[in-house]
Amino acid sequence: MPLSISGYVPQLTAGEGPGVSRGRAWGAWALAACVALLFVGALFFAPLAAAAGHEAAARTLYRALHFVCHQMPERSFHVAGHPLAVCARCSGIYFGFAAAVLAYPLLRQVRRTDAPARAWLLAASLPVALDFALGFTGLWENTHLSRALTGALLGAACVFYVVPGLVELTSLRPREFFRQRAEV
């Protein structure tokens, strides 16, 4: 039976753990940056492919990304007369994540495996929730810009939890990982 979160024991010490090699840490960061940039590129490729007459490629991307977004055209930014592959809020989340992951080495040591307190993630999600709630109740009409900016804040905040997690995961050697899993 898995332990509760209170029974979690970090694999490495806070900060720069002795088990985190510089190469693996930078590799984890590079992986996160590449995936984020490819994902953002896919958001633009779908409408550009549709505009260029490559319907099969565009349809494939729109269908693949419908699992992560409702894709309502009236709530999406448009490029070349076609909606991005996700709505304005999701676009903000992914752009914010990509921008923050690229800036991450300037803001924090890549080898660090400690994440900020969860309260910061909750605080970053409050503007999204407020923007949604005010729009849903009709008290305020949210816009593409308000959706994108609140989403970008949340996406940027997520980087400070995802990258340290990836760095910690890549610092484990497969035998250690499976041995620790067996002990739990």
- Write the DSSP string, 3-54: PPGGG---SS-SSB-TT--HHHHHHHHHHHHHHHHHHHHHHHHHHHHHHTT-
How high is the pLDDT of residue 12?
45
Look at the chain and report how many structural domains it folds into. Answer: 1
Residue 4 lies in a domain: no
How high is the pLDDT of residue 21?
87
Tokens for 82, please give them: 């076609």
Q: Is 109 helix (H, G, I), strand (E, B) or coil?
A: coil
Tokens for 95, please give them: 């752009």
Rounded to 5 degrees, φ, ψ at 114 are -85, 140
What domain range is 67 assigned to?
21-179
10-residue averages of pLDDT along the chain (184 residues): 60 54 93 97 96 96 94 95 96 98 97 95 97 92 95 98 93 67 64
How high is the pLDDT of residue 13?
47
Residue 10 lies in a domain: no
Beta bridge partners of 78: 83
Q: How many CB atoms lie within 10 A of CB 167?
A: 26
Backbone dihedral region of 112: left (phi > 0), alpha (psi from -120 to 50 degrees) or beta?
A: beta
Residue 7 lies in a domain: no
